[in-house]
Structure 1
Amino acid sequence: MKILVISAASLFLALGGAAVAQTTTVVVPGEVKTYVMKQETPSVTFEGDVAVGTTLPDTVEIHTIPDQPDYGYVVVNKKRVLVNPKTRAVIEVVQ
């Protein structure tokens, strides 16, 4: 019986943590989006879904944004995406 209670508690904590992580949003400054939309950058092909949280492989070149060290961008599968340059994770799909 103790094992069942511990397992249920562990499951509750694990799911609770996941729910909190999913509600976290990043507010990207408007000037970052404006800059990215104005750039003429060729698209790269990526196998798989490009969505918030997707980690891009090292083979995908992330472009820097002047005076914005917390943001990078890349055009993937003809979609402009904002990326955290440190983690390579997609922050937002702009277009």
Structure 2
Amino acid sequence: MRKTLILAGTAALMTLSASAHAQETVIIRQDPVVTQSTVVVPAPVQTYVMQREVRSVPYEGDVLIGRVIDDPVELYPVDGYDNYSYTVVNERRVIVDPQTRQIIQIVE
């Protein structure tokens, strides 16, 4: 009985370690990932936005996620990521969906 339990435990551990090694695949997405009410923007997009020098544009109202930036405010494309644009409004860097002009992240 004891040998059977030891063998079963060893087999279970070997199975778990094989599963852990199989999870080494990394998937990189260009599209925003939505988790409940938050959009997860890829780190390279955030870095790109932080490294660019863009003049801040005065904007009436609060700068909030979900707010639509009106047409007169110029949006700048993020190289290599067609699904993202950015701008600086009221001294705050924001990442914007270029199709809807909606703020999806405020970068601080």
- The TM-score with structure 2 as length reference comes to 0.66
Report the RMSD for the aligned CA atoms in angstroms. 0.7
Greater per-residue strand proportion: 2
Unaligned runs of 5+ in 2: 1-35
Unaligned runs of 5+ in 1: 1-22
After the TM superposition, list the runs of 4 or more consecutive aligned residues in structure 1 that deviate by more than 4 angstroms: none
Counterpart Cα distance in 1 of 2:53 and 2:37: 30
Match of 1:62 in 2: 75
| Aligned AA (1:60) | V
Counterpart Cα distance in 2 of 1:67 and 1:57: 24
Q: Report 1:69-84 matches (<5 A).
A: 69-84=82-97
| Aligned residue-pair number | 73
Residue 46 (structure 1) aligned with residue 43 (structure 2): no
- The TM-score with structure 1 as length reference comes to 0.75
Shift of 1:24: 2.5
